[in-house]
C-alpha cells in the first residue's frame, strides 16, 4: 500500500514539473512574439522594411520571371547563339539524345498575344479575281453602308489569301475593330451586291466573338433547349443564337451561351446580371472563350515569338526534325509532335500539352479579369 502511494506521488510530481515546463515555454513564446512584434513596429516607424511575407515573396518571384521574359525578348540576334548553347548544355538529355520537354509556363508574351490578336474573326468574301486592291474593297463597303443603311464601320485590316481557294479564286479577309462593326457586317442583307465592280460570295460565316456573348448559369439539364431558346428570342430579338455548352466529355452542362447582335443590349444584361425565360430568372455572366496559344514558327515551342526564339535551327512542324533551312528539308510526312510525340502536327490544338497550356493561360486571363475587361472595352 505504501509503495503504491509512493508511486502515485512520484507520478504527480513528474506531471506537475512537466506542466510547469509547458507553461514556462508558452510564456517565453508569448514574450518572444510580443518583443518580435514590437521590434517589427519599431522598424517600420524607423523606415526599415519588414521581412517579406510568403505572398510578397511569391509575387516578387513572379515579377522576376516576367522581367526575365523581357530580357530574353531583348537579346540581340548576334548573341542568341551563345544563349542557346548555354541552354543546351544545361538541358537534360534523353537516351535518344532528344531534349526533354520541360513543363510549359505561361509567359507574359503568351498572355499579351492572347489579348492583342484581332479580337474578331474575319468576314471572308471570295472573288474570281485578285486584281482588286484591299483599299478599294474597304472604301466600297464603307461608302455603301453609310449611304444605304446610315451605318459606320471601322475596318482594322484586309488581307488577301488563296489558301482555301480553287484556281482563279481569291479570298479577302476583312477584320473589324469593334463589336458594332461586327454586328453590322454580320447581317448579310446589308452588304452590297458587288465589291470593286465584281460579284462575290461568302464561303463561310465568322465565329461569334466573346465580346458579343454571355453565359446563363444553372439552366436545368431537363429543360428543353429549343423551347428555352424560342422563349428568349421572342422576348429579346437581339439574341442571335442560344447554345447549350458541353464539357470535355461532350456531355451537356448547366451553362447556356448567348450570342447577341447588340453590344448595347449586352451591356444592359451585364449591368442587371439577370435574364428572364420560361417564367424563371437566371443569373448571367461574361463568356470568355479558350485563349489563343502563341506558338513559335521557328522551333514550334509554346509561349514566345519567332523573333524571341533562341534555337539556332528550324523545326519541321510535321516530322519534328531540326534543320538549318526548312526550304531544303526533306520531310518524311509522318506526323510526330515535338511536345508529346503524338501522331499530329506540333502546333495542333489536339496536342495534350497545348491543351494544358491553353487551360493554364485561360486561368491566368481569368485571374487578371479587370485588365481583360479594360482591353475588351477599348475594342468595343
- 161, 173 contact by CB (below 8 A): yes
Question: 9 pLDDT band (50/70/90 cuts)?
Answer: low
| Position 300 in a domain | yes
Residue 116 pLDDT:
60
Q: Which of 255, 286, 317 is the last residue of a domain?
A: 286
- Average of per-residue pLDDT across 295-306: 91
Angle at alpha carbon of residue 269, lines to 268 and 271, rounded to 5°: 65
Asked if pLDDT for residue 99 goes beyond 60, the answer is no
Q: Is residue 71 part of a domain?
A: no
Is residue 271, in this structure, part of any structural domain at all? yes
Residues 140 and 112 in one domain: no
Cell 476583312, located at residue: 174
**Residue 333 pLDDT greater than 80, yes or no:** yes
Q: Which residue has the higher pLDDT, 54 or 332?
A: 332
Domain span holding position 297: 88-117+292-380
User: Looking at the structure, do residues 244 and 318 belong to the same domain, yes or no?
Assistant: no
- Whether 357 is in a domain gets the answer yes
State the Cα–Cα distance between residues 315 and 324, nearest whole angstrom: 9
343 with 263, same domain?
no
Q: Is residue 352 part of a domain?
A: yes
- DSSP assignment of 316-345 equals -TTT--EES-GGG---------TTT--SS-
- Whether residue 282 is contained in a domain is answered as yes
Whether 307 and 341 map to the same domain: the answer is yes
pTM of the model as a whole: 0.56
27 belongs to a structural domain:
no
- The owner of cell 510526330 is 336
Is the predicted pLDDT of residue 168 greater than 60, yes or no? yes
- Average pLDDT over the chain, rounded to an integer: 77
Note whether 302 and 372 are same-domain residues. Answer: yes
Compute the distance between CA of residue 110 and CA of residue 211 in angstroms, rounded to an integer: 20
What are the residues whose beta carbons fall under 8 Å from the beta carbon of 281, sequence distance 6 or more?
Answer: 274, 275
Cell (9 digits) for 363: 486561368
Question: Mean pLDDT lowest for which of 52-56, 85-89, 255-259, 277-281?
Answer: 85-89
Question: What whole-number percentage of the chain has pLDDT above 70?
Answer: 66
pLDDT the model gives residue 378: 52
Q: With bands split at pLDDT 50, 70 and 90, how would you rate the model's confidence at 63? A: low
DSSP 8-state code for residue 295: B
How confident is the model over 297-321, as a mean pLDDT? 92
Kindly report the length of the chain. Answer: 380
- Same domain membership, residue 180 and residue 157: yes
Residue ending a domain, choose from 286, 320, 335: 286
pLDDT in tens, 210-237: 889 999 999 999 999 999 999 999 999 9
Q: How many domains does the chain have?
A: 3
Q: Which of 286, 303, 332 is the last residue of a domain?
A: 286
Amino acid at each position: 500500500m505504501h509503495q503504491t502511494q509512493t508511486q502515485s506521488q512520484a507520478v504527480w510530481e513528474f506531471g506537475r514539473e512537466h506542466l510547469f515546463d509547458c507553461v514556462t515555454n508558452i510564456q517565453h513564446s508569448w514574450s518572444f512574439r510580443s518583443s518580435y512584434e514590437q521590434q517589427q513596429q519599431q522598424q517600420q516607424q524607423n523606415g526599415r522594411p519588414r521581412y517579406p511575407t510568403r505572398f510578397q515573396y511569391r509575387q516578387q518571384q513572379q515579377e522576376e520571371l516576367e522581367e526575365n521574359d523581357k530580357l530574353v525578348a531583348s537579346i540581340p540576334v548576334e548573341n542568341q547563339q551563345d544563349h542557346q548553347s548555354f541552354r543546351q548544355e544545361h538541358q537534360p538529355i534523353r537516351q535518344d539524345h532528344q531534349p526533354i520537354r520541360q513543363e510549359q509556363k505561361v509567359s507574359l508574351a503568351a498572355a499579351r498575344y492572347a489579348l492583342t490578336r484581332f479580337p474578331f474573326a474575319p468576314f471572308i468574301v471570295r472573288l474570281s479575281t485578285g486584281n482588286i486592291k484591299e483599299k478599294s474593297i474597304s472604301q466600297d463597303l464603307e461608302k455603301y453602308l453609310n449611304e444605304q443603311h446610315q451605318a459606320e464601320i471601322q475596318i482594322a485590316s484586309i488581307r488577301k489569301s488563296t489558301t482555301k481557294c480553287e484556281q482563279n479564286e481569291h479570298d479577302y479577309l476583312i477584320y473589324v475593330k469593334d463589336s458594332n462593326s461586327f454586328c453590322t457586317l454580320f447581317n448579310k442583307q446589308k452588304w452590297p451586291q458587288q465589291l470593286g465592280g465584281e460579284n462575290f460570295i461568302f464561303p463561310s460565316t465568322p465565329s461569334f466573338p466573346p465580346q458579343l456573348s454571355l453565359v446563363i448559369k444553372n439552366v436545368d439539364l431537363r429543360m428543353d433547349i429549343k423551347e428555352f431558346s424560342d422563349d428568349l428570342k421572342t422576348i429579346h430579338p437581339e439574341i442571335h443564337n442560344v447554345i447549350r455548352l458541353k464539357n470535355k466529355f461532350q456531355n451537356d452542362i448547366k451553362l447556356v451561351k448567348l450570342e447577341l447582335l447588340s453590344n448595347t443590349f449586352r451591356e444592359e444584361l451585364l449591368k442587371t446580371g439577370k435574364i428572364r425565360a420560361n417564367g424563371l430568372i437566371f443569373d448571367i455572366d461574361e463568356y470568355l472563350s479558350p485563349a489563343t496559344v502563341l506558338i513559335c514558327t521557328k522551333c514550334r515551342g509554346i509561349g514566345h515569338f519567332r523573333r524571341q526564339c533562341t534555337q539556332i535551327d528550324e523545326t519541321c512542324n510535321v516530322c519534328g526534325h531540326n534543320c538549318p533551312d526548312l526550304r531544303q528539308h526533306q520531310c518524311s510526312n509522318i506526323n510526330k509532335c515535338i511536345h508529346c510525340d503524338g501522331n499530329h502536327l506540333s502546333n495542333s490544338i489536339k496536342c495534350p500539352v497545348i491543351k494544358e497550356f491553353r487551360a493554364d493561360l485561360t486561368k491566368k486571363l481569368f485571374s487578371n479579369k479587370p485588365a481583360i475587361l479594360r482591353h475588351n472595352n477599348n475594342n468595343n
